[in-house]
Amino acid sequence: MKDASRYSNESGVGIACTVAGAGLLTTSDAFVKWLTDGYPVTQIIVVRGALILLPMFLLAWRLGKLKTLRVQQPGWQLLRALLFTASVFLFLNGLRFNPLAINTAIAFASPLIITALAVPLLRETIGWRRWAAIIVGFGGVLSIVRPFGETINIYALLPLACAVTGAFQDIITRRISDTESAFSVLLCSTIVTMIVAAFFVFEDTWRLPGAVDFSLLVLTGLLSGGAHYLLIETFVRAEAAVVVPFRYTALVWGLAIGFVVWGDIPSGLDWLGILLIVSSGIYIVHRESLRRRDAA
């Protein structure tokens, strides 16, 4: 286990990786949302994955880290890759129907889910403050999904399911960070996602992209690959309590891009939901940080 002094020394790098990764990933998601109007999600996943692999190998070679591509814990790597695959399918399909910022906000419910699952899975004791934050956060999800009357947003359940798979994915990432490099994790996740998508891609109508759309696909792959590498690297560089709050900067990007490109303006209930999800998620991370500090 990495000691606290190393985390302390590299916290700034971890925060920078988180902010940069969030911005790159949201921009990539915006390109994907644009492309889903004319291309199946499975085709986008396969093409994007192929475009991620080559730059990743070149970057690993350039940095002298080809040896770090070796997998040390194949079982955990495969499980994480399958969870990552599920998260990608759920999130990208959600982008087809939901505004960019709304899709992103609901997916950010994963810290709430991680905390709630800590009781049955990890047998942790959760104090009333964190339970209150969980309830408030899920109240924010309900404010966006609106499961009442004729205003229910069925498609909002896609990023919510993504939040569940993402929660387990982050737990495993943290567990294997001592032995697995960011390169090896990204490699396994990308390959497994491509294989799964390839099984379904032929059931959809494959479209040969034009020059503009192909350029967008290339950008999507490069941005997504860089983003996931940076976000994985954050767990190697710093404690989750330090870097997780900065993931929410993706919402700023999502709101700005959604407004400029699609003219999306969240409703009052959407704004309320975003505020509740973000504030409760940050509070939970803060409380867990205090709890670990007291235990030490």
Q: What residues does each domain of the chain span?
A: 4-295
Residue among 220, 198, 222 at smallest CA distance from 209: 220
Secondary structure of 83-103 as H, E, C letters: HHHHHHHHHHHHHHHCCHHHH
Write down the pTM of the prediction: 0.84
pLDDT value for 8: 54
Q: Where are the beta strands (DSSP E) in the chain?
A: none
State how far the Cα of 99 lies from the Cα of 275, in Å rounded to an integer.
Answer: 16
C-alpha count within 13 angstroms, C-beta hemisphere, residue 220: 24
What is the structure's pLDDT at 6? 52
pLDDT at 149: 62
**Alpha-carbon span 261 to 279, nearest angstrom:** 27
Q: Of 19, 20, 26, give the one whose Cα is nearest residue 253.
A: 26
CA distance 136 to 229: 31
Q: Furthest-apart CA pair in the chain: how many Å?
A: 58
CA 272/CA 197 separation, integer angstroms: 35
> Residue 31: what are its φ and ψ, rounded to 5°?
-65, -40
Tokens (6 digits) for 281: 């998620």
Closest CA to 109 of 141, 85, 147: 141
The pLDDT value given to residue 83: 97
Distance CA 283, CA 289 (A): 10
CA 211/CA 46 separation, integer angstroms: 18
Per-residue model confidence as pLDDT tens for the chain (296 residues)? 455 555 555 778 888 999 999 999 999 999 999 999 989 999 999 988 887 787 778 778 877 888 888 899 999 999 999 999 999 999 999 999 999 999 999 998 988 888 888 777 767 788 889 899 999 999 999 999 887 766 677 899 999 999 999 999 988 887 888 899 888 998 899 999 999 998 887 766 788 888 999 999 889 988 988 887 888 778 777 777 778 788 899 999 999 999 999 999 999 999 999 999 999 988 888 887 777 777 76
Q: What is the pLDDT of residue 91?
A: 95
